[in-house]
Amino acid sequence: MIVPRLIERKRNGEPLEASELRELVLEHAAGRVPDYQMAALLMAIYFRGLDRTEMNALMDAMLDSGKRLDLSRLKTPRVDKHSTGGVGDKVSLVLAPLIASLGIAVPMMSGRGLGHTGGTLDKLESIPGFRTSLTLGEAEKQIAEIGCAMLGQSQEIVPADRKLYALRDATATVEVIPLIAASIMSKKIAESLSGLVLDIKRGPGSFLPELADEIRLAEAMIDLGAQHACPVVALVTAMDRPLGYACGNALEVAEAIEVLNGGGPQDLIEVTFALGAEMLVLSTLVPTREAARAMMDTAIRSGRALAKFEELVVAQGGDKGVVGNPERLPKARHRAEFVAPRDGVVQTVDPRAIGYGVIELGGGRRNMEDKIDPSVGFVITAKPGDRVRSGEPVASVYARSKDDLEVGRLILGEAIVISDSAATSLPLVSHRITAGEVESLA
């Protein structure tokens, strides 16, 4: 294999053979193709795309770069949820323990921050001691014992995605349907699931702002699932504003704990319950989404879901004190309020500006080697459509220094637009996509 020749062919718009893509992905995962060549190929793919055959080959190669979880001993169904990436999206932190507390196994393999979006692994690692780098054996044992595990790609499990994911993050090559589909589905198929629910983010804060592209992405992943006997249901959810209030790793963990305690922002609860209901129906535990919602409600009110989160934190080496007292999470040294500059109606809260803002404050990576500061970020309580008065607090900045507080305030000033009338927001959950059907819910 002559890698520059493959890059040249893709750059010129020619398809690559399945065997060529496979060799390239496996050689890169093994460290025998350098990142700079892979980065060049990713950029060529960004502009030229991959056809279905190439996407399937990419996904299979990524999957075969490691081993799969062996959960065959489990008697329970195994379901998971994965998001295409959002800002303030801490749904996974709530859903994994919530669904596991109802007796369904949730083997959840997640990612780190990607582009302007946050990553579940980074959020979890803001809990002191929490370990996301589980071995295959540790993950299998933990899922058998407590019903869930939240882990990252590793040398053993989808190592190809681990490397490609980090490389795409650092080279602005995220927003490509076949790359997203192969990245997500290689992780999910490696989990040996009996069902998967996808949260396809829609709007300017998502990787694919056009609805037609989001539907194409969902259909591609449903197709990949079908090839591996994994039924997939996708919901399209709004990402034209951040989800919930908190944006930033430790701040989001605190907000997820609030939801598990029966509180939290309404939009976050709604999206979490919509996705959770699909998981429970897919698992066949309940026949209807209404029954599923009632079950999740009881699990939260009874404290079972929060207790399962505590079990998860303990199992993965985290400080369980955080669960009862989120004040123990890393705290930013400086905090300042941001107030509405005028009377009016919140027109937009730009999720992309907020996501990049978190990175700017140190809560995300600018390059692959960066260490992140889990304590920084924003809490934005204003939502599009809210009427506000001049001087009213609408958000807070959490920062490492006084200078960064100013940076944060400037970011909020750009991201939060207040005018005389509100723009129309996207429905929180707008479409449900299954094999062969796109249902409008709004």
In the set 28, 163, 187, 188, the catalytic residue is 187
Closest to 114 in 3D by CA, of 92, 152, 85:
85
> Which CB atom, from 126 or from 183, has the smaller least distance to ligand URA?
183
> Which CB atom, from 63 or from 174, has the smaller least distance to ligand URA?
174
Catalytic annotation present for 161 = yes
Instruction: Please report, for residues 80, 86, 111, 121, the alpha-carbon distance to residue 133 in angstroms, rounded to integers and kept in the order given.
Output: 18, 23, 11, 9
Catalytic annotation present for 73 = no
CB of 434 to ligand URA, least distance (A): 20
> Which CB atom, from 355 or from 384, has the smaller least distance to ligand URA?
355
Phi/psi of residue 257, nearest 5 degrees: -65, -35
CB of 249 to ligand URA, least distance (A): 17
Look up residue 18 and give its two tokens. 């399945």
> Which CB atom, from 320 or from 352, has the smaller least distance to ligand URA?
352
Closest residue to ligand URA, based on beta-carbon distance: 183
Alpha-carbon span 56 to 123, nearest angstrom: 31
Look up residue 161 and give its two tokens. 């995605």
> Which CB atom, from 204 or from 303, has the smaller least distance to ligand URA?
204
Q: Are 27 and 33 in contact (CB under 8 A)?
A: yes
Instruction: Please report, for residues 134, 228, 299, 375, 378, the alpha-carbon distance to residue 394 in angstroms, rounded to integers and kept in the order given.
Output: 39, 47, 32, 20, 11
Catalytic annotation present for 168 = yes
Alpha-carbon span 334 to 403, nearest angstrom: 10
CB of 120 to ligand URA, least distance (A): 10
CB of 416 to ligand URA, least distance (A): 26
CB of 103 to ligand URA, least distance (A): 27
In the set 163, 168, 241, 383, the catalytic residue is 168
Phi/psi of residue 63, nearest 5 degrees: -60, -45
Q: Are 93 and 120 in contact (CB under 8 A)?
A: yes
CB of 428 to ligand URA, least distance (A): 20
In the set 161, 169, 240, 267, the catalytic residue is 161
Catalytic annotation present for 183 = yes
> Which CB atom, from 56 or from 183, has the smaller least distance to ligand URA?
183
CB of 84 to ligand URA, least distance (A): 5
> Which CB atom, from 164 or from 253, has the smaller least distance to ligand URA?
164
In the set 65, 92, 101, 183, the catalytic residue is 183
Alpha-carbon span 181 to 123, nearest angstrom: 23
Alpha-carbon span 316 to 133, nearest angstrom: 9
Question: Please, what's the b/e burial string for 250-280 (b: 16 or more CB within 10 A of its CB; e: otherwise)?
Answer: bbbbbbbbbbbbeebbebbbebbbbbbbbbb
Alpha-carbon span 174 to 202, nearest angstrom: 15
Burial class (CB in 10 A: 0-12, 13-18, 19+), 342: exposed
In the set 10, 28, 81, 82, the catalytic residue is 82
What residue ranges bind ligand URA (CB under 6 A)? 84-85, 111, 114, 174, 179-180, 183-184, 187
Complete DSSP assignment for 326-357 = GGGS---SEEEEEE-SSSEEEEEE-HHHHHHH
Give catalytic residues, as residue numbers. 82, 161, 168, 183, 187
